[in-house]
Amino acid sequence: MEVEKRLLGNVIKVSIGIILLRCFYLQVIRGGYYHMLSENNCIRTVETGTPRGIIYDRNKRVLSKDTPSLQLVFIPYDIESAEKEAKLLSSIIEVDVPATLKKLKGRYSNPFERIILKKKLTKEEVSLVEENADRLPGIFVQEGLVREYILGQSTAHVLGYTGEVNEEQILKYKEKGYKAGDVIGQDGIEKLYDFYLRGISGGIQVEVDARGHHRKELGRKQSLPGNNLVMTIDQTIQEIANEELGSRHGSVVVMDPRNGQILALVSKPAFDTENLHEYFTRGGHPFLNRAIKGQYSPGSVFKIITAISALETANIAEYDRVECTGSITVADRVFNCWKEDGHGWVDINLALPFSCNVFFGTIGMKTGVTKMVEMARMFELGKATGIDLPGEKPGSLPDRSTTDALNLSIGQGPILITPIQLVSLISTVANGGNIWKPYLVKEILTPAGEKVKEFAPSIRKTVFVSSETMEIVRKGLENVMVFGTGAGSRVAGVAIAGKTGTVQRAHRELELDTQGFFVCYAPADDPKIAMVVFLDRASGPIATRIACNIVKKILVPKEEEPEPSEAPEKTEEEAANVEIL
Amino acid sequence: MLRYFKRMATDSPLVLTTFIIIFIGLLLLFSASRGMASKEGIFFKQLLWVLFGLGLMYMVKNIDYRDVKKFAPLLYIAILACLVLVLIIGKGAGATRWIRMGGFNFQPSEFAKLAVIIALSAFLAEKNAAKVHILAASLMIIGIPFIFILKQPDLGTAFIFIILFFAITHQAGAKKSHLFFLVMAGLVMSPVFWLVMKGYQKDRILTFINPMRDPLGRGYNLIQSIITIGSGGIAGKGYLRGTQTKLAFLPEYHTDFIFCVLAEEFGFIGVLVLLILYYFFFRAILDIIYSTQDRFGRLMGAGILSMFISHVFINTAMTMGLFPVVGIPLPFISYGGSSLMVSLVSVMLLVNIRDNSLMF
């Protein structure tokens, strides 16, 4: 027993002895040296940085990459007077004084870490800063990297933008290794795939003397560049969509109906990643990605669902006719068709191309709200598509208590759908029933080109609608462009199937304001692209024209633009040769 | 209640040293939290924990430690459930160690140490650890929570589990040759583990052993920690006058690196005083262990003692670069409710063992 006790007693003595000896060595024998180190704060780290991954389009053309630039940085510990230096800086170069002051005064876990004050300095700015170097202790110019977006505002909503981590993000992502001054994706693909795009920054740890000269290198960490992304976006189509949308507010999404790959996604107004702060205060919601976050009433586009649900529930047959006199009266309420003198006797084959409100109102009342909403839900409307972008909105579907069949049948009232959901709907009609999950990133590659991850197309759901119904709807959509509401925008050489939609919104000042939609796929008999065009403060026909111009530029080769009389078969062969598909 | 603690402190050197160490801890936390906007609240939070802990001690003062034995299996299963839960929903820096409950974080691995001590002591109370199958069963009892903790990964706590196993089984009469065999088996097995590990896992272990592999992160922290301790010199820079700690070179000054605050502000003299206090604390436990005739009490006491010694040693050694940096708190001093509660309950168990031993 005593032996045991003595053994444990010795363990105690030895443990405490070791600690005391080590402390004696560090504090008493080497105390002076460490005191000197702590006085002069001689251990510094210098980050060497690392480039963020490159973002490519589907054909490996660069959409975004890091390029070298000169930047203004500071070392928090060496700043003598934040106010004075911020004031001096603002007098020689263009800086945001409150933001600069906030940065200079901030508390950092490593006060010797260089923090960026301003990126992309011009040559004049560099020389001005260097002239005033002695009055700007702790602030200097160094080489760094700046993110460049080749297509500029065109891809702003897809790619997003990068920025320094904010305090909230530091707390949230601390365990993932983010610290003050690090760059992080703040929106879009840059945000969602930040983990892959950001590399590991290298750096050295050095002992410096009182004047800041390096005396001894204590350690070195190799940097690792970020991984590259290959997107499903086609740079050419993205540019076409961007040009055609022009300065209008709205959005265009082009998708491959055979696999859900997004070929182009544009939303306007957009922002310029180099002058972000200017856009934060600008009107028109430039940071709202209308394609996935804008929720709108679909208007006449919803007639596709009305038609399918009426046909599938056998509430009408293909040749059942309704007489349109320009309006119908239901319980004292007058419901107008857009064509004042009416369409006469029409069946579904005529009503869909003409977008006859009276016809759809009548069959909608027969089918009922519940069945129509059921069909909309089956096509996954009113639900986020799961596209790989942050912040997608789900929209919402009404029910019997919030809307009536008449309103719903023509897509008016409390039904909200996002443009990306509409492109998913039209794709499903085009391919006969597969609801593909829309996606933007195809592959993630290491800098050396090895595959890290590959994203295969995935089907969210297969919709079972009889082939007769689908055939009727597809024929109707094709006729929209032959003799219906879209005929004025016909494109020679490509058969397009589509549906227009114009929604009136009563404004506060009782002015009528409209939103225009056009959904389509082409070529009609072998769909290779599906598209939605949404316009704020414009009408369906304008959206139709924009969509048709885009289809034309994608599917009809420029030089060999055929005469309108030429046989369509030939151009379709040519279309199939276009490399993007 | 106040009178009770006064009597306790004068009666028992164990409780007296505990109170003094807790008081020193609060002084250091006050210093560490000063001037740091993000850490302003921690001193008062810890003060609340101390008061709560004293209340807890008062509440359990009449519970006979031998009753704890009956609940040992239940306690053991409960803690296993918590450890599994932490793997599923846990939170923490780089590893999953906490479960968030209401407004505070609950760290099951702290409680697991005491639960395993109780479970193993209860199991061996009527059994002879010299028998191989008993030793194997003991290994199972500690092995299951050990694997969960390794999975978190909390290498520090896992290491302490190994110490606890050897301390308790040795006390329970395990043969030296058996224990030696286990040590050798562990050493032989380790290269096998090394071979099946993936590259990044190896990298993490290597950085863990040699922080200078990561000179901007852990390596930087360690160098700053050593400079902080060394710069305190013989007499220190004075209370609240630490420069290193105030510049916040280390992120964890209030938890795992609190020893640096003491060493910087009170110098070698301060370190000496604290270590002497810990020495008396350990000796007091040792006296209790060998004053009782109850085998369960003695095994539990030995487990608790080795838990405290290894905490103090590993925590201080790692801040001085003598041991890999692991998340092991300094008992009664580091910020954190879970660790303080476990330590105080342990002290109460020891007091109870002593009180009951006097009746023999």
Encoded amino acid at B99, one letter: I
Q: How far is A10 from chain B (nearest CA, A)?
A: 11
Considering only CB atoms, which chain B residues are within 8 Å of A26?
226, 229-230, 320
Tell whether A393 lies on the interface with B, counting CB pairs under 8 A.
no
Rounded CA separation A293/A389 (Å): 10
Record: contact B268-A220, CB cut-off 8 A? no
Tell whether B337 lies on the interface with A, counting CB pairs under 8 A.
no
Tell whether B343 lies on the interface with A, counting CB pairs under 8 A.
no
Q: How high is the pLDDT of residue B59?
A: 87
Q: How high is the pLDDT of residue A465?
A: 92
Residue range B212-270, pLDDT digits in tens: 777 666 777 788 888 889 999 999 988 888 777 665 555 567 788 899 999 999 999 99
Which of A15, A37, A109 has its CB closest to that of B251? A109
> Do B21 and B281 form a contact (C-beta atoms < 8 A)?
yes
> Do B255 and B223 form a contact (C-beta atoms < 8 A)?
no
Chain A residue nearest residue B92, CA to CA: A175
Q: What value does the mean pLDDT take over residues A443-452?
A: 91
Using a pLDDT cut of 90, give the percent of chain A over it. Answer: 50
Tell whether A69 lies on the interface with B, counting CB pairs under 8 A.
no
Chain A residue nearest residue B282, CA to CA: A12
> Do A142 and A71 form a contact (C-beta atoms < 8 A)?
yes
Q: How high is the pLDDT of residue B39?
A: 64
Whether the predicted pLDDT of B360 surpasses 70: no
Record: contact A45-B216, CB cut-off 8 A? yes
Record: contact B230-A111, CB cut-off 8 A? no
Using a pLDDT cut of 70, give the percent of chain B over it. Answer: 88
Give the angle B332-B336-B337 at the CA atoms, nearest 5°: 90
Q: How high is the pLDDT of residue A274?
A: 79
Query: Regarding predicted confidence, which is higher, A92 or B279?
Result: B279
Q: How far is A136 from chain B (nearest CA, A)?
A: 22
Q: What value does the mean pLDDT take over residues A140-150?
A: 85
Record: contact B229-A175, CB cut-off 8 A? no
Residue range A235-577 in CATH 3.40.710.10: yes
Average pLDDT over chain B, rounded to an integer: 86
Tell whether B219 lies on the interface with A, counting CB pairs under 8 A.
yes
Tell whether B323 lies on the interface with A, counting CB pairs under 8 A.
no
Residue range A54-111, pLDDT digits in tens: 999 999 999 999 888 888 888 887 788 888 888 888 888 888 888 888 888 877 766 6
Considering only CB atoms, which chain A residues are within 8 Å of B320?
19, 22-23, 26
Considering only CB atoms, which chain A residues are within 8 Å of B225?
none
Q: How high is the pLDDT of residue A476?
A: 94
Give domain limits for chain A: 44-231, 235-577
Weakest-pLDDT range from A116-130, A239-253, A278-292, B206-220: B206-220
Considering only CB atoms, which chain A residues are within 8 Å of B247?
41, 77, 111
Q: How high is the pLDDT of residue B359?
A: 54
Q: How far is B231 from chain A (nearest CA, A)?
A: 4
> Do A414 and A398 form a contact (C-beta atoms < 8 A)?
yes
Q: How high is the pLDDT of residue B88?
A: 81
Q: Among residues 13-72 of chain B, which lie with CB inside 8 Å of chain A?
A: 36-37
Whether the predicted pLDDT of B202 surpasses 80: no
Whether the predicted pLDDT of A551 surpasses 80: yes
Q: The whole model's pTM is what?
A: 0.64
Query: Regarding predicted confidence, which is higher, A282 or B301?
Result: B301
Query: Regarding predicted confidence, which is higher, A531 or A175?
Result: A531
Whether the predicted pLDDT of B200 surpasses 70: no
Tell whether A448 lies on the interface with B, counting CB pairs under 8 A.
no
Record: contact A15-B312, CB cut-off 8 A? yes
Q: How high is the pLDDT of residue A345?
A: 92
Record: contact A38-B233, CB cut-off 8 A? no
Rounded CA separation A385/A395 (Å): 10
Residue range B68-87, pLDDT digits in tens: 888 999 999 999 998 988 88
Q: How far is A200 from chain B (nearest CA, A)?
A: 12
Record: contact A221-B290, CB cut-off 8 A? no
Confidence band (pLDDT; 50, 70, 90) for B277? Answer: very high
Tell whether A19 lies on the interface with B, counting CB pairs under 8 A.
yes
Q: How high is the pLDDT of residue A279?
A: 86
Chain A residue nearest residue B221, CA to CA: A110
Record: contact B233-A174, CB cut-off 8 A? no
Record: contact A204-B215, CB cut-off 8 A? yes
Residue range A265-298, pLDDT digits in tens: 999 999 988 778 788 888 888 999 999 999 999 9
Q: How high is the pLDDT of residue A579?
A: 39
> Do A501 and A299 form a contact (C-beta atoms < 8 A)?
yes
Record: contact A221-B214, CB cut-off 8 A? yes
Rounded CA separation A304/B202 (Å): 58
Rounded CA separation A334/A351 (Å): 19
CATH number of A44-231: 3.90.1310.10
Q: What value does the mean pLDDT take over residues A466-481?
A: 94
Q: What value does the mean pLDDT take over residues A168-188?
A: 77
Q: Among residues 164-183 of chain A, which lie with CB inside 8 Å of chain B?
A: 174-175
Residue to mutate among B224, B231, B309, B314, with most A CBs inside 10 A, is B231
**Taking the CA of residue A567 as centre, how many other CA atoms within 13 Å lie in the half-sphere pointing to its CB?**
3
Rounded CA separation A111/A385 (Å): 45
Confidence band (pLDDT; 50, 70, 90) for A534? Answer: very high
Confidence band (pLDDT; 50, 70, 90) for A570? Answer: very low
Residue by residue, DSSP assigns B175-219 as -HHHHHHHHHHHHHHHHHHHHHS-HHHHHHHHHHH-GGGSTTTHH
Q: How high is the pLDDT of residue B243?
A: 72
Whether the predicted pLDDT of B139 surpasses 50: yes
Q: Among residues 311-350 of chain A, which lie with CB inside 8 Å of chain B?
A: none
Whether the predicted pLDDT of A45 surpasses 90: no
Confidence band (pLDDT; 50, 70, 90) for B327? Answer: confident
> Do A206 and A215 form a contact (C-beta atoms < 8 A)?
yes
> Do A118 and A104 form a contact (C-beta atoms < 8 A)?
no
Tell whether B12 lies on the interface with A, counting CB pairs under 8 A.
no
Give the angle A362-A366-A370 at the CA atoms, nearest 5°: 120
Residue range B87-128, pLDDT digits in tens: 887 655 445 567 766 666 778 889 999 999 999 999 999 898
Going by their DSSP bridges, the two strands A202-208 and A43-49 should be labelled as antiparallel
Q: What value does the mean pLDDT take over residues A370-381?
A: 94
Confidence band (pLDDT; 50, 70, 90) for A578? Answer: very low
Considering only CB atoms, which chain A residues are within 8 Å of B289?
5, 8
Confidence band (pLDDT; 50, 70, 90) for B192? Answer: confident
Chain B residue nearest residue A7, CA to CA: B286
> Do B298 and B357 form a contact (C-beta atoms < 8 A)?
no
